[in-house]
Every structure is written in structure tokens, then in C-alpha cells.
Structure 1
Amino acid sequence: MSDKPVHYVFALLNNFSLLSFASAVECLRIANRMSGKPLYTWEVQSETGEQVKCSAGSVFAPDSKFGELSRDDTVLVCAGLDVQGATTKALLNWVRREARKGLRIGGLCTGAHVLAKAGLLDGKRATIHWENHDGFAEEFEEVTLTKSVFVVDGGRMTTAGGTSSIDLMLKLIADGHGEELANSVADQLIYSSIRTDQDTQRLSVPTRIGVRHPKLSQVIHMMEKNIEEPISPAILAKDVGMSTRQLERLFRRYLNRSPKRYYMELRLQKARNLLMQTDMSVINVALACGFSSPSHFSKCYRAQYGTTPYRERGTQGTRLPV
């Protein structure tokens, strides 16, 4: 262990997630307090050095603009809403330049998009907020995307957003100064269930739908895994050992819709994510979500969302909220 404080640089992007940023900083502050010495120092930077607004509307004044850093520094890119629009050429150039020095670089919440766009996650494992998962997977095929709460792969770190910053920082504190200090920080935060990189970010299917029926959960899991090439209800039913009629009754009883309707809603939700978060053509979005006919896709999309995919794509200035 080095006696020299570890220095963190928080790079704030417009509309960054306040929770992700604050959670990370608080872990460092509490670690210093509990240890009785400055184990960590930090500063806040933005592209221009001017004020940055978080997604909650509060404005933050950074310490400086993006500049030259020491190779011992750790950069954490803090992003949130419309990370695509906030990922500028100047930001990418800065991140790439600092990465060449050997700095550890991480992305909080949707910050993984910036790292991937800069090519810093090629061939590496990473994670991002589940709502951005579909768009990220389509755009960055060279990145092994997981659904973990956080991922550390070499000198690259990514989190899923929200309180996952706490889990990442607790791991870094434990790695640098021991489990006892990390646990003390968690206690101060009233954070009683520390997650690891093996934990997934979303609730399990039974918890999410409010139904604890093993076969129903199994079918829904299969649906979520097979969006591009949908499986027929008859095959789904057979795979879990029941008849198609039994499966229909199960969905009607617990979800008040048919298996076909539920599957369609899953596919259309993914389609909406791709339309709002990527530059994929409408036809490619349709194919990625199991629609072989653009006209059928458009008809189903309008029935679900009250607008066509083409018009939805026209509103991309307002990205999906995270």
C-alpha cells in the first residue's frame, strides 16, 4: 500500500446522474474520515470548465476543464441522460489521450458509452444501465457486455448506474486498504448488502413481474433471450412441459394478457430503445426485434405507442430517460 493519496478525477457530462456521482464521492470522503488520514483526493472537471447541469436539474461548478493528468490518477466519467449527445469529439480525444498514459479510467452509469466510443473497451467486459443495454450491444459488438452491477477489467471500470457506484468504490477501497475499511464505509452509508461484480443489476423475473411461478418465469426468461428470432408459444410451452392452452391460461391469470401479446410488448420495447438510443435504420431495428416486414413492424409499433417508428426516430433530440 502506498502512503500517497489516490487521486480521482470526476469528468462530469451534461445531464449526468447525480446519484452515481455523489455515491462515488461519498465513499471516498467517508474512507478518509474512517481511516483518519487522506487516503483519497479528488477534483471535478468538465469539458469547458463551465457549469454542468445534472439530470435532476442542479448545477455544479467544476474545479477545472479537462487537462493533463498524472498517470497515477483515476478518471471516472459521469454520464446519464442522452450520453450520445454529450459524447463530443473533444471528450473522446481527451479520454484517449489520458488512456495512452496508462491511467485507470471508468464510466459511471452511462459513462461506459463514452469509453466504448473511444475504443477503450474493445475486447473487454463492461456493463451499462439496463435501459441502455440494447442500444449499446448493437453499437459496440467488440465489447463483451454483461448485466453485472459493475465490472472491473484491467484498467477499465464500468457501473450500471444508481447505487452501483457504491459497490465499485467499496471494492476499490477494499483492494487498496482492506475489507475492514470498506465495511466501515458501508456501515456509515447504511449500506447493508454489498454487491459484487457477480451480482446482476435488474431484479429477477419473478420479482419484476410480481409473480412467483417457476414455469411462467422460465418462459419469460426465454422470451427475453430470444427477441431477434421469436419462439412460438407452442414451443415455449413444450420446453417447460405444458400444453399451449395451459400456457395461455397461466399468462391470462397472472399477467392479464396472452403469451403472444406479452412477447410482442417485449419486442416493441427493445425496438423503442434501439430507435431512441442508436442510429440504426428503422428496417434494421425491425429485423433486430423479430419483424421480417417493415410494414408489420410499423403497424404494431403504432398500435403500442401511438406513433410510427419513423416519427419516433424523428424525436431523437429527446432520448429515452435513464
Structure 2
Amino acid sequence: MSQLPEPARARPGRKPPRVEPAGPVRVGFVLVPDFPLMAYTAAVEPLRAANTLSGCPLYEWWHAAPGGGAVRASNGVTILTDVEVGSAREAERVFVCAGGNPAGFEDPALFAWLRELARRGATIGGISGGPYLMARAGLLDGRRCTLHWEHVPAFEERYPGLDVVRSLYEIAGDRVTCSGGIAALDLMLHLIEADHGPGLAAGVSDWFLHNQIREGLSPQRMDLRQRFGVRDPRLLRVLAAMEANLEAPLSREALAELARVSVRQLERLFRALLGRGLHRHYLDLRLDRAHQLRRESALEASEIAAATGFTSADELSRAERRRRRPAAVASVSSGRS
């Protein structure tokens, strides 16, 4: 079984020993149509920089995609692949990069190939929505994993037995999962450090003007203070409780008790600091989650309603229509003016 090496650590006061590489680490990138280009480039570019800065071919890589040929990213850029799915091409590490709606992707040949690569000793990784496909292939059973926060709700509904965390990346033996975006850069810097020491990893980080290498357990999203631009600790406690309780929404009274204010005071806080009422904010959180689940899962309408705190699919549908109605009214009014 392929295991990722631990980062080399030098003794205090001593220069790290120079270890000549036995040969380039071979890395495969499996790009699924509509893959996120930023996440892919954040993963492959550090390998190129490591080769350039070291003056040695420390890494080499290849690309594959379902169906072969050119594969299109979500922004329209295409990458020409050079390996057929199912080929005997070797790699120490293979990363699946996917975006869009990974829940709707079905390719038994690709899943079988990933399992075969794992049996041959490759470390299998997933970037952004890639872990979804690893789970579809049965490669995450018993492993802690992460993926982009947007995919997490649907993923947890489909795979309730998997240990999902909202970290930047997770390394669980010969399985690696990454939330995507520029977190892929932090992951690759960690792997470069493990392979060739902290000096090269720091050099690559500097190369990309990345002045802080983040740990894998760092959170994916900004904290609530940054996201909403509020500092009031009472409101922050309530916002965190709302996001954690979408399936069984808390009452206004329970939220006010959490904030240690009256319901009327809490309503005033919401309107003063967020420009909207408590009920409107909570409802929008639940409707946004429902939209994610509808787009990224095969759940029935009734199951989506239950997962977002609605008593029925009809109630959810009515709430969605009411949210769309102000935009439609504004559009009509604008056309008449």
C-alpha cells in the first residue's frame, strides 16, 4: 500500500540533509468535464515550480478524462489528455478533479480504473468534487475525508456512514481529499515538504506569493464575523446556531435565549446589523440548502423538504415561489417605467 512520507525535519541548528531523489514522482490528474480550473492549476503548478526551483525533474504528470481527447473546464478552457481511462499507465499519486454536479456523474469504467490504480499501490486523491467520485468508487470507506463545502450537504445525505470534515484537506494513508480552490496549493506544498523538505516547499510557496502555508485542518470558509461583517457576539452565536440547525430549525425563543436577549431585541439586532429580519434570514438559509440538494443529489422532493425543515414538498415549493415573486414583481415594474 502506498503511503505518503512524513515531512523531513532537521535537528535544531543543523541544515537538513540533502536527499537525492530516486526518480520523479509520477502524478496522474483525472479531469472530469466541468472540472474547476483554479483547483486543477493550484494542484499542478506547484509541481512545475518544484521542478524549476530544484533544477531537477522531481515530478512528472499525465492527464486522463472520461472519453479521452480534450476535456472542458467549467470556464470553457480545454485540456488535452494523454492517457486513456483504463490504461496501464503508472503513477504514485492520482487525483480526480471534479466540479459542477458530481452527484450526477456516472462512469463505471472510471470507477473501476480508480479501484485498479489503488490495488496497484497508487495513492488516490480527490479535489473539490473529486472525493464524491472516490466515494462512488468505494474508495473512502472507513476513511476521514473532505470536499468543497458546497458539495457537503448532498454528500452527507448520500453517504451518512462516511466521516466528513470541513477542512482544507485530509490525508488518510493512501487516500487524500481536498476541498478545492487554492486549498489544492496548500495540499501540494504539504506533499512537496513531505517528499523533499520544508525548504523547497517554502520556496514554491514564495514563488506563488503565498506567504502562509495553511494546515490541512484549517477551515474552508471565512468565519461568520468576516462573512457577514458583524462583531456582535450575540448575533454571531445565533448565526452559528442557525447554520447548524437547518433540518430542525430552532424557534425564535430558543435563538433569543441563546443570545441572552428578548425576541424583540434579537429582531432589532438582525435588522440593524444584517438589514433583514430573523425569520427571513433563517428561511433563506434553508432555501439555499434545498437548492444545493436539488442540484447535487438524487433525493426526492419530500426528502429535500425534510432535510431543510419543511413539513412537506408542497410547503417547500410555496416558500421557493414566494422568494422568487419579489424579483419577478421588480422585473415587471422596471419594464413599465
The TM-score, its normalising length taken from structure 1, stands at 0.91
- Work out whether 1:68 is the aligned partner of 2:88: yes
Of residues 81, 85, 90, the one that matches 2:109 is: 90
78, 84, 104: which is aligned to 2:97? 78
Q: Aligned match of 2:194 in 175, 181, 198?
A: 175
Partner of 1:316: none
Cα distance change of structure 1 residues 219 and 110 upon mapping to structure 2, 3 Å threshold: same
The aligned residue for residue 258 of structure 2 is: 239
Cα offset, 1:113, TM superposition: 0.7
Q: Distance in 1 between matches of 2:72 and 2:99?
A: 11
Cα deviations across residues 41-86 of structure 1 (Å, max 9, x unaligned)? 111112332111111101211112121243x521011112232344
Classify the secondary structure of the residue corresponding to 1:105. Answer: strand
Quick one: which amino acid aligns to residue 67 of structure 2?
A: T
The alignment's C-alpha RMSD in Å is: 1.4
- Describe the SS at the equivalent of 2:23: coil
Q: In 1, Cα distance between the equivalents of 2:132 and 2:313?
A: 29
> In the TM superposition, what is the alpha-carbon distance from 1:223 to its structure 2 partner?
0.5
- Kept in 2: contact 1:52–1:60 (CA 8 A): yes
Partner of 1:209: 228
TM alignment of 1:1-322, pairs within 5 A:
2-66=21-85, 67-70=87-90, 73-305=92-324
Structure 1 stretch 76-85 or stretch 130-139: which is displaced more? 76-85
Say which SS state the counterpart of residue 309 (structure 2) adopts. coil
Distance in 2 of aligned mates of 1:176 and 1:153: 17
Between stretches 281-290 and 239-248, larger displacement belongs to 239-248
Q: CA deviation at 1:93?
A: 1.3
- Output the amino acid matched with 1:6: V
Q: Which has the higher Rg, Structure 1 or Structure 2?
A: 2
C-alpha contact (below 8 Å) 1:69/1:98 kept by paired residues: no
2: CA distance, partners of 1:8 / 1:178: 18
* Conserved 8 A contact 2:134-2:140: yes
1:16 alignment partner, SS class: coil
Residues of 2 paired with 1:227 and 1:292: CA distance?
13
Tell me, in whole angstroms, the C-alpha distance in 1 between the residues paired with 2:303 and 2:64.
38
* Partners of 1:14 and 1:86 within 8 A in 2: no
Alpha-carbon contact 2:102-2:296 (below 8 Å) kept: no
Equivalent pair of 2:259/2:266 in contact (CA under 8 Å) = no
Q: Which runs of 5+ in 2 are unaligned?
A: 1-18, 326-337
Query: Displacement, 1:176?
Result: 1.1
What SS class does the counterpart of residue 151 from structure 2 fall into? Answer: helix
Contact 2:144–2:170 under 8 Å retained in 1? yes
Match of 2:328 in 1: none
After superposing the two structures, state which structure 1 stretch, 195-204 or 292-301, moved more.
Answer: 292-301
Given the superposition, is the C-alpha separation of residues 21 and 215 from structure 1 closer, same or farther in structure 2, using an over 3 Å criterion?
same
Note if contact 2:145-2:170 (Cα within 8 Å) is conserved in structure 1: yes
Task: For structure 1, list consecutive stretches of 5 or more residues without a partner in the other structure.
Answer: 307-322
User: Could you say what secondary structure the match of 2:160 adopts?
Assistant: coil
Which range moved further: 41-50 or 132-141?
41-50
Distance 1:80 1:293 in 2: 30
Distance, in Å, in 2 between the alignment partners of 1:58 and 1:97 is: 29
SS of corresponding position for 1:122: coil
SS in 1 for 2:150: helix
- Please identify runs of 4+ aligned residues in structure 1 that moved more than 3 A: 84-87
8 Å contact 2:149–2:166 — kept in the other structure?
yes
Tell me, in whole angstroms, the C-alpha distance in 2 between the residues paired with 1:29 and 1:222: 43
Corresponding residue for 1:309? none
Q: Given that residues 108 and 159 in structure 1 are in contact (C-alpha distance below 8 angstroms), is that contact kept between their aligned partners in structure 2? A: yes
Q: For this pair of structures, how many residues does the alignment match?
A: 305
